[in-house]
A = this chain, B = another copy of it.
Amino acid sequence: MSSASRDSVTVVLDWGTTSFRAFLVDREGSIVEAKESAQGIQSVPKGEHARVLSHALAAWRNEHGPLAIVAAGMIGSRNGWLEMPYVPTPAKAADFAAASRMIDLPEGDRVMFLPGLTDPTAFPFPDVMRGEETQLVGFGLEENIVVVLPGTHSKWAEIRNGRIERFRTFVTGEIFATLANHSFLSKVATAKANHATDAFAEGVALARDDSGKAGGLLTRLFAVRTGWLAGKIAPEEMKSRLSGLIVGWEFAEARAGGWFKDGDTIAVVGDDDMVEVYEAVARAFGVRLAAAPADAAIRGALAISGRGRR
């Protein structure tokens, strides 16, 4: 029974720190059904993950029989269900499969935990990712290209010769969120950031300025306040301005670090809204954009687990 049902569908699990998401997909990678809740791993006591997961997926199990579940990302971290190792760069898709781990659950479900990825060449400590490596595999490792994965901790990865060659993290999303919600801005700024505004574009332009007259990031950030004091930035423009400046600064740092130069082609992989933001900044920095699938995480989970269409 179980092997037949397990062949027809796969559950791709995206169980993060503050949210639970599960996708029931067919062998083509098409989403048959999705479940989402706010029960992130930080709200689940150690030892309770199997029970919570079994309960959440009961309806799918009733319909399809015992489930094959593929789990990447933070559920396999120190604060999650179990701590999976990190595969070192350079890494190809088969390396992730070889380092995965299977756990059989009481109801007959089988969970395949995927490992993370570490870049031991980072200074001063090895860099790490959990989940983005699966998105990179889903994007495809055939062409040599730099891929940006926006997020709280944005990643820049280089794909070369069918492998993830190296990557670096930028804490862009975290800096934006903490400043937008807890700084001098938070009492004045009103509207959410919107990348389709002049304020966002002006923030990007300020990040791109390399004449030296604007100072470094710590000084440029203050310009959101001084622009408001000077009557040049309205309260509803402040977060857009901040977003453009900080994401733009990520590109300025990446350019200085040799990740791209004017006219290069890169790809942006992730959720639609953040991809739009990053693509807007990439264009402002003179970068061409390669097409990228919206469902890279699901494609990657199927590819690494061998459960996709061959």
A interface residues with partner B (beta carbon < 8 Å)? 78, 122-128, 152-153, 168-172, 174-175, 177-179, 181-184, 206, 209, 212-219, 221-223, 226-227, 229-230, 232, 249-250, 252-253, 256-257
Question: B residues within 8 A CB of A216?
Answer: 170, 217, 249, 252-253, 256-257
Interchain CB contact under 8 A, A174 and B184: yes
7 smallest beta-carbon distances between A and B, as pairs: A216-B253, A178-B178, A170-B218, A125-B226, A169-B222, A123-B213, A125-B227
Beta-carbon nearest neighbor of A154 in chain B: B218
Question: B residues within 8 A CB of A179?
Answer: 174-175, 178
Contacts A126-B226, A127-B226 given; 19 further ones with Cβ under 8 A?
A124-B227, A125-B227, A125-B230, A152-B184, A153-B222, A169-B219, A169-B226, A170-B215, A170-B218, A171-B183, A172-B218, A175-B175, A212-B257, A216-B256, A217-B253, A218-B250, A218-B253, A219-B253, A219-B257
Name the prevailing secondary structure of the A interface residues.
Answer: mixed
Question: B residues within 8 A CB of A182?
Answer: 177-178, 181-182
Report the copy number of this chain in the oligomer: 2
A278 to chain B, nearest CB (A): 14
Beta-carbon nearest neighbor of A172 in chain B: B218
Beta-carbon nearest neighbor of A123 in chain B: B213
* From B177, B221, B249, contact of A171 by CB (8 A): B221
How distant is the Cα of A153 from the Cα of B215 in the complex, in angstroms?
14
A308 to chain B, nearest CB (A): 31
A24 to chain B, nearest CB (A): 31
Question: B residues within 8 A CB of A168?
Answer: 215, 219
How distant is the Cα of A124 from the Cα of B219 in the complex, in angstroms?
11
How distant is the Cα of A252 from the Cα of B216 in the complex, in angstroms?
9
Question: B residues within 8 A CB of A230?
Answer: 125-126
Interchain CB contact under 8 A, B223 and A124: yes
How distant is the Cα of A122 from the Cα of B214 in the complex, in angstroms?
7
* From B122, B219, B250, contact of A226 by CB (8 A): B122
Question: B residues within 8 A CB of A175?
Answer: 175, 179, 218, 221
Q: Please, could you name 19 A-B residue pairs with CB atoms under 8 Å apart, sorted by A?
A: A123-B209, A123-B214, A125-B226, A125-B232, A170-B215, A170-B219, A171-B218, A172-B218, A174-B179, A175-B179, A175-B218, A178-B178, A212-B256, A212-B257, A216-B249, A216-B257, A217-B253, A218-B253, A219-B253
